[in-house]
Amino acid sequence: MLLYFTEYLILRKSLHVKDVKPPFEYRNVTIKTDENPADKYNILPELGRGSFGTVFLCKEKASDLELAVKIVTYKKKKEKTMMELEIDILSSLNHPAIISIYDAFDYGNKLYCFMELVQGGELFERVIDEDFVLTERACACFIRQIVEAIDYMHSKRIIHLDMKPENVLCLSKQGNRIKIIDFGFARRYDPHKQLQVMFGTAEFSAPEVVAFEEIGPWTDMWSIGVICYVLLSGLSPFVGADDFETMTNVSFAKYSFDYAPFEEISSTAKDFIEKLLIKEPTKRMKAKNALKHEWLTQLDCISESSHKDITLSLTKTKLKRYVILRRWRKAALSVMFINKLNKLSNSHLLNSC
Ligand code: AMP
């Protein structure tokens, strides 16, 4: 009994989202144009690649502070403008679940965005770890932080527009704090102006994106619904054999909970997803209301039903497969990209012969 109680406390403790002291105070960053970042920072090994640019580990020379830096080499004005917008948006955000910006430079046709270093890896990589106890409550704990960050962004009239598992990192390998990254597609939202976009990741894109209709804060809420569905089941609700099939599935907005992993999931969690995966944007749950939804509010209640503490072993097995498949797809895409580059440089060589 004592053992059970201790374990229960440990489980509860692990769900507690501790406040972590930020590595630096909030900074309102403007892009420096007449300084070489190499004078102040040592750029270290690569951490990852995104839609635009590459992210490296780095260290500030004066303080030894470890940071991450996103470097974008721009050739066209549009590429420069997009990164400038990302820096501007990051600079106006100050929230514990959103990556903090530290410094920015425009030097030698490259834009440098220095930000807080996050060392826990992608959320989905963490939850499939052997040591991680995946329960519905743990999922709700992560989703609540995501919704809190999105609610804050939306209150500042900023929409992320690329919410997907890869853009949710864990602050550390032990704690439960998450950080939303990659504001490369983020936009300022003016309710009086119509905004349409043609980008994002098909699997997590909302029907209005696929139909090239008006987008807004509701567009992020759809993506959270998809992330939540995948996190709780290891299955992707709209994914098809290719992007075209996926987009067709998204446009129909038809999905089901009739799969084995959902047998262990509470009706409250399913209701949460159902209120997000609604084709009609105006009927979709807003971030503020999502935070008031029973699935997220019950998280604080100790005496609450124990079935939400059941280990989701089938979900974990499916999630592992899902993560591996995504890694393969990412690797295949970079091979295609390298082949394309090789072809381009070969043709350049031929042309210059
Ligand atoms: P992004 O272009 O922002 O999507 O970043 C590309 C990849 O770099 C991500 O998928 C992460 O693996 C890594 N990354 C981005 N930002 C950070 C950060 N602040 N700390 C650690 N790794 C990061």
Q: What is the largest CA-CA distance in the chain?
A: 80
CA separation (Å) from 158 to 38, 88, 92, 243? 31, 11, 9, 27
Q: Which residues line ligand 1 (CB under 6 A)?
A: 47-50, 53, 55, 68, 70, 99, 115-118, 166, 181-182
State the pLDDT at residue 348. Answer: 43
Out of 111, 181, 333, give the residue to mutate to test ligand 1, the one with the largest number of ligand atoms within 8 Å of its CB.
181
Q: How far is the CA of 63 from the centre of ligand 1 (A)?
A: 22
User: Known binder of ligand: residue 40?
Assistant: no
pLDDT tens digits, one per residue of 260-304: 999 999 999 999 999 999 999 999 999 999 999 999 998 765 444
State the pLDDT at residue 121. Answer: 94
CA separation (Å) from 234 to 30, 58, 114? 41, 34, 33
Atom of ligand 1 nearest to the CA of 51: 2
Please state, in angstroms and rounded to a whole number, the distance separating the CA atoms of residues 26 and 102.
8
Atom of ligand 1 nearest to the CA of 53: 2
**Helix or strand (DSSP H, E) at 68:** strand 66-73
Please state, in angstroms and rounded to a whole number, the distance separating the CA atoms of residues 296 and 279.
22
Out of 182, 183, 323, give the residue to mutate to test ligand 1, the one with the largest number of ligand atoms within 8 Å of its CB.
182
| Catalytic site includes residue 19 | no
CATH, domain range 23-116:
3.30.200.20
Please state, in angstroms and rounded to a whole number, the distance separating the CA atoms of residues 164 and 200.
9
Asked whether the predicted pLDDT for residue 14 surpasses 80, the reply is no
Give the residue, by CA position, lying nearest to ligand 1 atom 19: 117
Mean pLDDT of the chain: 87
Mean pLDDT of all residues in 233-255: 95
Alpha helices in the chain (DSSP H): 2-15, 77-91, 123-127, 136-155, 207-210, 217-233, 243-252, 267-274, 287-292, 294-297, 313-352
Atom of ligand 1 nearest to the CA of 183: 3
Q: How far is the CA of 44 from the centre of ligand 1 (A)?
A: 14
Please state, in angstroms and rounded to a whole number, the distance separating the CA atoms of residues 253 and 208.
11
CA separation (Å) from 8 to 11, 302, 351? 5, 10, 68
Please state, in angstroms and rounded to a whole number, the distance separating the CA atoms of residues 291 and 273.
13
Give the residue, by CA position, lying nearest to ligand 1 atom 11: 48
Q: How far is CA 235 from the centre of its chain?
A: 17
* Number of Cα atoms under 13 Å in the Cβ half of residue 331: 6
- Asked if 71 and 56 touch (Cβ cutoff 8 Å), the reply is yes
Give the residue, by CA position, lying nearest to ligand 1 atom 13: 48
Give the residue, by CA position, lying nearest to ligand 1 atom 4: 50
CA separation (Å) from 229 to 109, 135, 272? 41, 14, 10
Cα torsion 119, 124, 126, 130 to 10°: value is: -160
What's at 16, amino acid-wise?
H
CATH 3.30.200.20 residue ranges in the chain?
A: 23-116
CATH 1.10.510.10 residue ranges in the chain?
A: 123-316
> Can you give the pTM of this predicted structure?
0.88
High-pLDDT (> 70) share of the chain, % = 86
Lowest-pLDDT choice from 17-21, 137-141, 154-158: 17-21
Tokens found for residue 211: 């139909």
CATH, domain range 123-316:
1.10.510.10
The strand pairing partners of 66, in sequence order, are 59
pLDDT tens digits, one per residue of 107-146: 999 999 999 999 999 999 999 999 899 999 999 999 999 9
Query: DSSP secondary structure string, 112-178?
Result: EEEEE---S-BHHHHHTSTT---BHHHHHHHHHHHHHHHHHHHHTTEE-----GGGEEESSSSS--E
State the pLDDT at residue 12. Answer: 42
Atom of ligand 1 nearest to the CA of 50: 2
Q: How far is the CA of 181 from the centre of ligand 1 (A)?
A: 7
Please state, in angstroms and rounded to a whole number, the distance separating the CA atoms of residues 53 and 38.
18
Please state, in angstroms and rounded to a whole number, the distance separating the CA atoms of residues 98 and 87.
13
Neighbouring residues of 331: CB distance < 8 A, sequence distance ≥ 6: none
Choosing from 106, 151, 162, 182, which is the catalytic residue? 162
Asked whether the predicted pLDDT for residue 20 surpasses 60, the reply is yes
What's at 229, amino acid-wise?
Y
Give the residue, by CA position, lying nearest to ligand 1 atom 2: 50
Q: How far is the CA of 119 from the centre of ligand 1 (A)?
A: 10
Q: How far is the CA of 50 from the centre of ligand 1 (A)?
A: 7
